[in-house]
């Protein structure tokens, strides 16, 4: 059967590595795109590189009023969003919790959780009204498997996974789908952001491995999004073959 192609896709964090990979994949499928991010020039450059009608919205997802105004400004011909990809998110810091920067904690919760929930809340009523739609949330293996220095980042992704599953409970019978995509190690600017520009530290994360790529994650996202409407992927957990859950630690004296 031909894949089910979403007509209009909104991607938050569109100028990041994941967002850009998603934008390219859905453009290749012929979807029309709403691209959101903080940087107007980067958004425009991405939009110009794509061969489909696009609408760009520049705002910071941590600014609720700006997000509400941006969503309210979506023109009528882009308003019937079929797929919302809540992709904007980040990790900051990897010090032990007792040494963490509390501003980092606040930014992670505001971006990964609060903004994701509010964005969903703004887009969801229209989907329910139309009896169709799909929300794909970018969670992480970090939401399931804790690791040292993960603290608020891991917890923020557990929120994303559980929010996604809980949405399914509320949306039962509405025709609106929800998917939590949970990648492990993917080589992107994720680590450069986490380590605040320390390129050496960031490169070490991926050294001597074959990590997943943003395109690999886009593969999972487009798979879930193009399945026929009766088929809901609740969770997709993906890792590079070189990575495995191997968690529990014991302190011995």
Other CB atoms within 10 Å distance of the CB of residue 236: 18
C-alpha distances in Å from residue 35, one per residue of 15, 71, 76, 134, 231: 8, 11, 16, 16, 26
235: which strand partners? Answer: 180
What x/- string results for residues 34 through 63 when contact with ligand 8X3 is judged by CB under 6 A? ------------------------------
Identify the residue among 20, 86, 120, 141 touching ligand 8X3 (CB under 6 A): 141
Q: Which of residues 152-211 bind ligand 8X3 (CB under 6 A)?
A: 184-185
What residue has token string 């980067």? 42
**Region binding ligand 8X3 by CB under 6 A among candidate stretches 14-22, 80-88, 135-143, 230-238:** 135-143
**Region binding ligand 8X3 by CB under 6 A among candidate stretches 50-58, 105-113, 134-142, 219-227:** 134-142
C-alpha distances in Å from residue 128, one per residue of 73, 125, 229: 20, 5, 14
Identify the residue among 33, 46, 71, 142 touching ligand 8X3 (CB under 6 A): 142
Q: Are 85 and 9 in contact (CB under 8 A)?
A: yes
- Our answer to whether residue 147 is catalytic in this structure is no
The whole-angstrom separation of Cα 189 and Cα 18 is: 10
Residue 224 Cβ, how far from ligand 8X3 at the closest point, in Å?
Answer: 18
Residue number, 32 or 194, with CB nearest to ligand 8X3? 194
Interacting residue ranges for ligand 8X3, rule: CB under 6 A: 140-142, 184-185
Q: Which positions are catalytic?
A: 153
């Amino acid at each position: 059967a031909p894949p089910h192609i979403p007509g209009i896709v909104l991607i938050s964090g569109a100028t990041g590595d994941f967002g850009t990979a998603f934008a390219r994949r859905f453009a290749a499928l012929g979807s029309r795109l709403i691209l959101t991010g903080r940087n107007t020039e980067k958004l425009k450059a991405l939009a110009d590189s794509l061969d489909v009608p696009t609408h760009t919205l520049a705002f910071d997802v941590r600014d609720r009023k700006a997000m509400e105004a941006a969503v309210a400004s979506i023109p009528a011909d882009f308003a019937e969003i079929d797929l919302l990809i809540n992709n904007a998110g980040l990790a900051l810091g990897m010090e032990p919790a007792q040494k963490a920067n509390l501003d980092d904690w606040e930014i992670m919760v505001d971006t990964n959780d609060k903004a994701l929930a509010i964005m969903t809340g703004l887009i969801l009523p229209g989907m329910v009204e139309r009896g169709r739609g799909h929300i794909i949330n970018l969670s992480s293996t970090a939401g399931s498997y804790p690791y040292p220095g993960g603290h608020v980042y891991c917890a923020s992704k557990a929120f994303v996974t559980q929010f996604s599953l809980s949405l399914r409970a509320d949306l039962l019978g509405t025709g609106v789908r929800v998917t939590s995509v949970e990648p492990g190690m993917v080589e992107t600017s994720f680590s450069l952001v986490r380590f605040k520009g320390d390129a050496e530290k960031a490169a070490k994360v991926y050294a001597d491995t074959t990590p997943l790529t943003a395109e690999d994650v886009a593969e999972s996202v487009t798979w879930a999004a193009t399945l026929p409407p009766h088929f809901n992927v609740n969770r997709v957990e993906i890792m590079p073959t070189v990575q495995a859950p191997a968690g529990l630690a014991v302190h011995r004296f």
